[in-house]
């Protein structure tokens, strides 16, 4: 680039194809960075006479806004023609401006005091004027000069909504000492409202960042930062909610600056970075620049230490469930609260389970609604319809089973009554939110009860339908027959109640060589005319009980006589080997003779 004087501001367009450079108060120069395009500068002067350009903002890859002290000018850049086309302009006295790229909103400070803010919204070639609003100053200003500084205002998106954050150094109420951050909600339609006040309880120099929907306020004097979460409960006075910080003040984790220079010098140990320096410049949402050291950082919130700082488990869950990377931290909290030395009471555990299942149910309902719309074919008429995003806050049954409950039940040192109470509490919570309980959770309950020989409790749970009927559960009960004989009957009763499991009941009985019981069952439901004779004869032969084989063989002979008028088996039934075996054991004369009416 040719040196044409001091650069006041320099910014690439979105996509980095066009560079805009402001060197004077009257114009902005442009340079294309497009392949096979000549790098020739072109210039746009501001349209308003006697106006000075305060700055400019790119709102898309080819749209730019000039902010002057007399208004704003919205242009489309035509890189091929190396010129700009004015789309819209608005006259308004401007003290200073602020831009939020996330929401494409420019905020202008107007009037003598500067406390009337006018937002503009930009989208695909259009500029919309939003409702202006007034920032309440701490006290009536003594003189008519600019009283609201750009330094005390920030704009950020919190929980999907745009807010203007005002750092008020002195509270409006005389009984309150210390500064506060006042949040004004900026909707696309309708008027802006003051909705939240964040109490800092201290004075001095502050800076603001927004990270993971949390407002982080840095305090230079104490070199600490405090965190606020506007989703957590505060004191509501009918219009605004007053919040205290979520956690005790904490310092940003120290950063070590590596020493640059030749290899012989770089063996020196790194130098600690000066935290909360007066040379720090903060940009929204999460950028901190150290001008003196030439470093740029993005601020992050570490969730693991929060677990030991926020002792109220209910509040901790409310906090964690709103964070992006929360799943593994939440699961570790669940594991901790079930084990010594941090074991929680059942009421605390129930509260945590309910909070998790509330989020889980919300996701399941959203997924179900989406599926219904898609299946009904309505998704084509609604292009904005999107599949619900599964955030890390959705902790489902498999997560709880794998990471928490199955590990917890294996711990021998836990009292078994507490173990069973925890499992039943989780099942109760799922039922409360009308979430279908997966069979593996019931299996975990049964295995735990069996492990501790609590068969009377198992019997009661099944009798009173605390454990819901399912085929996998019935099969598990059958496998327990050797250690708890009544489990066999409990299993059959469950399969009968399922009514869709008749084949399974027969298979289970035959596999246990209970051939007569299987036959009685199939007769009881009226299916004995269509069952396979060979299957029953195979099972009877494997039982190695000649009289049992005789009884079953005779039953099917009688069935053949009744249905076909002949006791013999047809070739299609593949029972030849069983007929041969019957003759060997009982003699040919024992075969039933056809009877004619």
DSSP code per residue over 293-351: TTEEEE----STTHHHH---HHHHHHHHTTSTT-HHHHHHHHHHHTSTTSPPPHHHHHH
In degrees, to the nearest 5, what angle opens at C-alpha 129 toward C-alphas 126 and 130? 125
Q: pTM of the entire structure?
A: 0.77
DSSP code per residue over 229-271: -TTS--EE-SS-EEE--SS--BPPPP-EEPPPS-TTTTTSPPE
Burial (CB < 10 A; 0-12, 13-18, 19+), residue 327, is middle
Give the pLDDT score at 72.
93
Reduce the DSSP state of residue 64 to 3 states and report it. Answer: strand
Burial (CB < 10 A; 0-12, 13-18, 19+), residue 308, is exposed
pLDDT tens across 504-550, in order?
Answer: 778 877 877 778 878 877 776 677 788 888 999 999 998 888 999 99
Name every residue whose Cβ is closer than 8 Å to that of residue 538 and which is 6 or more positions away in sequence.
578
How much is the CA Rg of the chain, to the nearest whole Å? 38
In whole angstroms, give the CA distance from residue 388 to residue 314. 26
Give the pLDDT score at 380.
64
Reduce the DSSP state of residue 291 to 3 states and report it. Answer: coil
- Helix%, strand%, coil% for the chain, nearest 5: 35, 25, 45
Listed as ranges, residues in the chain with pLDDT below 50 are none
Reduce the DSSP state of residue 50 to 3 states and report it. Answer: coil
Reduce the DSSP state of residue 566 to 3 states and report it. Answer: coil
* 557 secondary structure, DSSP code: H
In whole angstroms, give the CA distance from residue 42 to residue 125. 21
Place of tokens 């339908």: 465
For helices 327-337 and 346-375, give the axis angle rounded to 10 degrees. 150
Instruction: Give the CB-side neighbour count of residue 109, counting CA atoms within 13 A.
Output: 23
Instruction: Give the CB-side neighbour count of residue 314, counting CA atoms within 13 A.
Output: 9
In whole angstroms, give the CA distance from residue 282 to residue 211. 13
Helices (H), 376-514: 397-400, 406-409, 416-432, 439-451, 455-463, 471-479, 486-498, 502-511
CA 492 to chain CA centroid, nearest Å:
41
Name every residue whose Cβ is closer than 8 Å to that of residue 473 and which is 6 or more positions away in sequence.
439, 442, 443, 446, 467, 494
Strand 105-110 and strand 83-91: the pairing is unpaired
Give the pLDDT score at 267.
59
């Amino acid at each position: 680039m040719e040196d044409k004087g001091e650069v006041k501001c320099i910014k690439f367009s979105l996509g980095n194809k066009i560079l805009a450079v402001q060197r004077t108060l009257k114009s902005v120069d442009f340079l294309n960075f497009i392949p096979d395009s000549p790098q020739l500068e072109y210039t746009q002067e501001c349209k308003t006479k006697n106006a000075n350009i305060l700055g400019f903002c790119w709102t898309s890859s080819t749209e730019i806004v000039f902010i002057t002290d007399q208004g704003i000018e919205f242009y489309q850049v035509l890189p091929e023609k190396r010129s700009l086309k004015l789309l819209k302009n608005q006259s308004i006295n401007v003290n200073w401006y602020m831009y939020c790229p996330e929401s494409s909103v420019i905020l202008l400070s107007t009037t003598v005091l500067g406390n009337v803010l006018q937002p503009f919204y930009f989208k695909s070639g259009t500029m919309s004027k939003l409702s202006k609003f007034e920032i309440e100053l701490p006290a009536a200003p003594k003189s008519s000069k600019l009283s609201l500084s750009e330094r005390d205002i920030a704009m950020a998106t919190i929980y999907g909504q745009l807010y203007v954050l005002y750092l008020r150094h002195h509270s409006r109420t005389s009984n309150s000492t210390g500064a506060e951050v006042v949040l004004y909600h900026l909707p696309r339609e309708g008027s802006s409202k003051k909705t939240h006040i964040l109490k800092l309880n201290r004075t001095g120099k502050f800076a603001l960042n927004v990270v993971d929907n949390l407002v982080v306020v840095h305090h230079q004097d104490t070199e600490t930062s405090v965190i606020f979460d506007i989703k957590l409960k505060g004191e509501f006075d009918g219009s605004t909610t007053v919040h205290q910080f979520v956690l005790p003040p904490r310092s940003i984790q120290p950063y070590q600056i590596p020493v640059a220079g030749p290899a012989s010098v770089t063996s020196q140990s790194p130098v600690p970075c000066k935290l909360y320096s007066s040379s720090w410049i903060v940009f929204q949402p999460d950028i901190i620049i150290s001008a003196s050291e030439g470093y740029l950082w993005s601020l992050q919130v570490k969730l693991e230490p929060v677990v030991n700082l926020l002792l109220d488990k209910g509040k901790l869950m409310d906090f964690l469930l709103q964070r992006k990377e929360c799943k593994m931290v939440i699961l570790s909290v669940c594991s901790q609260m079930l084990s010594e030395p941090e074991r929680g009471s059942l009421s605390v555990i129930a509260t945590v389970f309910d909070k998790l299942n509330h989020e889980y149910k919300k996701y399941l309902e959203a997924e179900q609604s989406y599926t219904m719309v898609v299946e009904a074919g309505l998704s084509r008429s609604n292009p904005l319809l999107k599949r619900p995003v599964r955030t890390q806050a959705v902790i489902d049954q498999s997560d709880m089973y794998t990471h928490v409950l199955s590990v917890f039940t294996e711990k021998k040192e836990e009292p078994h009554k507490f173990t069973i109470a925890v499992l039943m509490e989780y099942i109760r919570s799922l039922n409360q939110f009308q979430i279908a309980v997966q069979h593996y959770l019931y299996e975990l309950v049964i295995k735990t009860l069996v492990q501790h020989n609590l068969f009377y409790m198992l019997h009661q749970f099944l009798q009173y339908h605390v454990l819901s009927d399912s085929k996998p559960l019935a099969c598990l009960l059958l496998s327990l027959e050797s250690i708890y004989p009544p489990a066999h009957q409990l299993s059959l009763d469950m399969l009968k109640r399922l009514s869709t499991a008749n084949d399974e009941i027969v298979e289970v009985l035959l596999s246990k060589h209970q051939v007569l019981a299987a036959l009685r069952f199939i007769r009881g439901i009226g299916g004995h005319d269509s069952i396979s004779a060979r299957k029953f004869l195979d099972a009877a032969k494997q039982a190695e009980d000649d009289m049992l084989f005789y009884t079953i063989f005779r039953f099917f002979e009688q069935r053949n006589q009744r249905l076909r008028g002949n006791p013999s088996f047809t070739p299609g039934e593949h029972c030849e080997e069983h007929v041969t075996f019957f003759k060997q054991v009982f003699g040919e004369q024992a075969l039933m003779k056809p009877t004619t009416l």
